[in-house]
Structure 1
């Protein structure tokens, strides 16, 4: 069989410029398989120009196994999309809101909160929906993300619903997994223990936007009271100090939203987390502040894609040097762009409205009506699951040439269909700093990388 170099590889710059010409090396990542290697420059040039006859049998076997080379007649885009669709058929995914309310009035939030919790009829229809889906025998997993507003604003509903969904999953012998996106203000250690150990919520995303003075000026209560930083950090420290905290599973993830107003102060916050010895207990991930529906916070405060990519590399380096594990230095193979493209994944607000994306809840988004699937209070036969966001993969091939031809597609899937539809460039940061990420990964994980040093 004849082979060619895959379209889905990316490389660092030369990592040893001072070496002689024959000893110069690069780092290569296959975005299809996640495999990464060190390779001499001459061998790299042979690979990317498909001069594969220059490689020995064992090296070719590695290239084939890692999808760095593929059959000459393979249509890689179609192959990747087929893999994506095949890997998401066994999971029923739901984003569920228990409350439309939130204590905070964050400067970049686009939601319009109200003091309302999920009513009984919507809860019951959720249970019926899950039961009917599991009756089909199609699903092996149910994955619930508890979202809001702030999900802990209606803890009693969350308790009841978690227990009932767990019971339904047990009845059908289906695995139940769940996570929570929370501001952390009400996440006391006792509540965390209940949620984790009894209600099977195994992943908690908590946003802290840097040191106290910056977090408190961005993520403040609606009444204008500051001081949320101290409360949230105290909660996290108390949770992590508990003898029942699952050390090394790191269920607490701290998300840091970054823009020009706080970016240069994040290293100090990382140092504070290190001083509190949270290295093996939490995960850290960085995200750029984005425009959220009608809130154009990013327009005056946000970084460009290229600017943020450089800021992020500096922060990743600082975080790794401080001894923390980060979400992922190298992007991993991703079998969907997001929940919006998966027909068995839905987002529900407290009113029973069904969307393909959780960003529509309480926002009056301009694209909401054309992407609304239906409402759980009506029969599922009335649902329209053929909304524009669900057609993303066909859109990639026919309308998004920049994605169709991009070597990062297997690790991002197009990243955010909604942002593209809003007219923004929706590429992830790693498109702009993948070379530096490869070097960081090499420096901190050398033993995991295969070195092909015998070529030429």
Structure 2
């Protein structure tokens, strides 16, 4: 035979709730489904060099195009090694910035200590000067506003955003931004101002219906928050569809929320189901550190047993937009930003860090930004975060999910503790993740067409 082929080692095969075949390839990031040609597809993946099968309706060519079939002598591991290095050493500058490390909430599972307040003007000027002096070295600039609760210091966001937009305009660089917020201060007027600041991605946490949300996410001084957050999201929803943005709603699920998940899914479907700008994803409440979570005895859910929650969600038949999950399945999509060379987290005092979850750990601090814009880095500490691709264990190298996470879903486990690698949420619940994504046609290719 002139050309020989094999099934990719990065394929994953499952079925949706209607017994449609679902295919996923972590190197291409492509998801596809089939109802009619399931047997033909499975035979081709098992025997890709069957000449008779290749001639059937162009299915073979589709499988080849989407990366489910590859040339027989292609070194797929070497190909992923290269893409991994490219991802780690990418030329874009990504800054996570903490306008304040304080918060107006006291969530029951929060790991933060709230030791630092609002970012000083000197630190703000240091960041602006750093970007001014160094932007020419990079491709583009992406900023994520984090906290604490970043909207408690929204004036810092406005000030730095104006400077970043002006600098990027001068140097012909693309500027993009997102904010991770509890949603309480995301009032309509603030939202519109953030859009002007090129913030077009918003992650807001909604922990189920009012009872569970108010229990897990109370105000700093006590008191409910659900009604205010929902009112803010409704006003955002009612903006003209010509206004483009993404609101990714994260739900942290505790054991006490399990039975109410169908009701919650019905609620979000009715409120936001007709607006493709609103997307949802779920996470189990875990022990992420700190003191607060110690009072959640019996409410934590192990991520390896989270499939029971997904099963409960899908019982309803409500087709909620879960397309946020697609990002995590793309090549490099389950890598933590801390594993990337040019990704820095900047604290209110100018500390340069890597991990958003261990702000007080000594090894998380890799440098400092001075008021004159100089970033001094401890390269030995930095290397522990970003040089991991040179020493990946064999189990990860051979794993079908490796192109998505590159053994870097949580580099903090290797840097700050004695743990080695941690598999990402989506790998642990991949069958259900694919089922949720397949509810929408946005990211699923139909192999029967």
- Which TM-score applies when normalising by structure 2? 0.85
Partner of 1:307: 305
Q: 1:10 is paired with a residue of what secondary structure?
A: strand
Q: Counterparts of 1:238 and 1:176 in 2: how far apart (Å)?
A: 26
Alpha-carbon distance in structure 1 between the residues aligned to 2:200 and 2:24: 30
1:158 matches 2:152: no
Checking the alignment, whether the CA contact within 8 Å between 1:98 and 1:350 is kept in structure 2 is yes
Question: How far apart, in 1, do the equivalents of 2:157 and 2:273 lie?
Answer: 28
- 1:306-325 to 2 correspondences below 5 Å: 306-315=304-313, 318=316, 321-324=318-321
Q: Is the 8 A contact 1:330 1:437 kept in 2?
A: no
In structure 2, do the counterparts of structure 1 residues 334 and 357 end up closer, same or farther at CA, with 3 Å as the change threshold? farther
Q: Distance in 2 between matches of 1:307 and 1:276?
A: 29
Match of 2:81 in 1: 81
Query: Any runs of at least 4 consecutive aligned residues in structure 1 with deviations exceeding 6 A, and if so which?
Result: 14-17
Corresponding residue SS for 1:373? strand
1:254 aligns with one of 249, 257, 273: 249
The one of 1, 4, 7 aligned to 1:5: 7
Match of 2:168 in 1: 169
Please provide the CA RMSD for this pair. 3.1
Distance 1:293 1:89, change over 3 A: same
Structure 2 residue 415 is matched with structure 1 residue 416: no
Displacement of 1:232 in angstroms is 1.2
For 1:82-104, what per-residue CA distance to the aligned partner results, in whole angstroms no more than 9, with x for missing partners? 22443562421000011111011
Deviation string 1:259-286 (CA, Å, 9 cap, x unpaired) is: 2122322332332334435530522111
Answer yes or no: is the 8 Å Cα contact 2:266–2:318 preserved in 1.
no
Q: Residue 321 of structure 1: SS of its match in structure 2?
A: coil
- Of residues 195, 202, 207 in structure 1, which corresponds to 2:200? 202
Which residue of the other structure, out of 262, 267, 288, is the alignment partner of 2:262?
267
What is the TM-score of this pair, normalised by structure 1? 0.84
Aligned twin of 2:229: 232
Once the two structures are superposed, residues 329-373 of structure 1 have per-residue CA deviations (whole angstroms, 9 ceiling, x without a partner) of: 695323361211211111111111112222232xx23xx42x432
**In structure 1, what is the Cα distance between the partners aligned to 2:47 and 2:16?**
17
Q: CA–CA distance in 2 between the matches of 1:175 and 1:447?
A: 25
> Cα offset for 1:206?
0.9
- Shift in alpha-carbon separation, 1:75–1:214, aligned structure 2, 3 A: same
1:61 is paired with a residue of what secondary structure? Answer: helix
SS of the equivalent of 1:206 reads strand
Contact 1:310 1:433 in 2 (8 A): no
Deviations 1:374-400 (A, max 9, x none): 11128445442643221232232xx3x
CA contact (8 A) 1:26 1:41 kept: no
DSSP-derived class of the 2:220 partner: coil
Q: 1:104 to 1:314 in 2, by over 3 A?
A: same
Cα distance 1:16–1:221, how it changes in 2: closer, same or farther (>3 A)?
A: closer
Q: Report the CA distance shift for 1:330/1:373 in structure 2 as closer, same or farther (over 3 A).
A: closer
CA–CA distance in structure 2, aligned partners of residues 78 and 49 of structure 1: 24
Q: Distance in 1 between matches of 2:351 and 2:234?
A: 37
CA deviation string 1:112-164 (max 9, x = no partner): 1036211122111111221222123x31x210000111111112211111111
* Residue 402 of structure 1: aligned partner: 395
Unaligned segments of structure 2, at least 5 residues:
none
CA contact (8 A) 2:22 2:31 kept: no
Question: In the alignment, what sits opposite 2:278?
Answer: 282
Q: Against the structure 1 CA distance between its residues 56 and 208, is the aligned structure 2 distance closer, same or farther, given a 3 Å change threshold?
A: same
Superposed displacement of residue 227, structure 1: 1.1
Residues 279/442 of structure 1: CA separation in 2 closer, same or farther (3 Å cut):
closer
Q: What whole-Å deviation, never above 9, does each CA across 1:36-91 have from its counterpart, x for those lacking one?
A: 24353465255246655563154443333222122333332231232244356242
For residues 277 and 28 of structure 1, the distance between their equivalents in structure 2, rounded to whole angstroms, comes to 28
Q: 1:348 aligns with which of 338, 342, 346?
A: 346
CA–CA distance in 2 between the matches of 1:174 and 1:241? 32
- 1:374: which partner in 2? 367
The number of aligned residues is: 431
Query: Could you tell me whether the CA contact under 8 Å between 2:103 and 2:114 is conserved in 1?
Result: yes
Aligned position for 1:338: 336
| Contact 1:309/1:429, CA 8 A, preserved across alignment | no
Report which stretch shifted further, 285-294 or 164-173.
Answer: 285-294
Alpha-carbon distance between aligned partners in 2 of 1:15 and 1:286, rounded to the nearest angstrom: 19
Partner SS state of residue 260, structure 2: helix
Structure 1 contact 420–426 (Cα < 8 Å) conserved: no
2:83 and 2:399 map into 1 onto residues whose CA distance is 17
Aligned partners of 2:249 and 2:279 also within 8 Å: yes
Displacement of 1:12 after TM fit? 0.9
